[in-house]
Amino acid sequence: MLAVLALSIVIASKWILIGRRMPGNYDWDKSSYCQRWQMFLSIERLRRRCFHSQGIIGLLTGTHWIVMYFRALGAEIGKDCALFANGNPSLTFTEPDLIKLGDRVAIDDASVVAHINTRGKFDLNRLNIGDRCVMRSGSRLLSGATMKDDSCLLEHTLIMGGDVVEERWTMQGWPAERHTGKRAAIE
């Protein structure tokens, strides 16, 4: 009951303090968005710090419950998605209402970040992940990036803001390059 109560408080406070996030510029000195977001992050500690600092999300990883939680926060998530199925995620979705996931997407302990914060300039952009995409452990998809259908990010791969991973491409590296499955010859 306490877990359900904590998640309910987090969801309600998100909608009361922030509402639906929209893409755009929310500079620290021109908009109240960043202050409201910081207040929300303080309340969100309820779900992050409970259960011996494992957090409630750590108990829901890989289940339909975590999908329902992120949908309640505004994420558009397709059918049969596996989110953080490998266990306790170190990072989750920072702005779920700017994220669109297609059907049968698998996201391991990966980072999906819809904001860019540079010297007080705070921008929010949409992130689109197509059908049957995979983000492996340690991969990062930055603000405004897109993964087209059947694409994959291998472990520890960085897709820069605004970049597009083409359909059926596998990416690897920091920053990412297309991985063709061929390895360099060892001499």
Q: Which amino acid is at 146?
A: T
DSSP state of 108: -
- Beta strands 111-112 and 121-124 are unpaired
Give the DSSP H/E element, type plus range, for residue 51.
none
Block mean pLDDT (10 aa), the chain, length 187: 84 94 88 89 78 69 88 94 80 86 93 85 92 93 94 93 93 88 62
**Which domains are delineated in the chain?**
2-178 (2.160.10.10)
d(CA 146, CA 38): 27
Q: Map tokens 């990412």 to a residue.
A: 176
What pTM was estimated for this model as a whole? Answer: 0.85
Whether 67 contacts 14, CB under 8 Å = no
pLDDT of residue 132: 96
87: left (phi over 0), alpha (psi -120 to 50) or beta: left
3-state secondary structure at position 140: strand
pLDDT of residue 183: 59
Whether 179 contacts 159, CB under 8 Å = no
**186 CB-contact burial (10 Å; exposed 0-12 / middle 13-18 / buried 19+):** exposed
pLDDT of residue 163: 92
Q: Which amino acid is at 40?
A: F
pLDDT of residue 119: 80
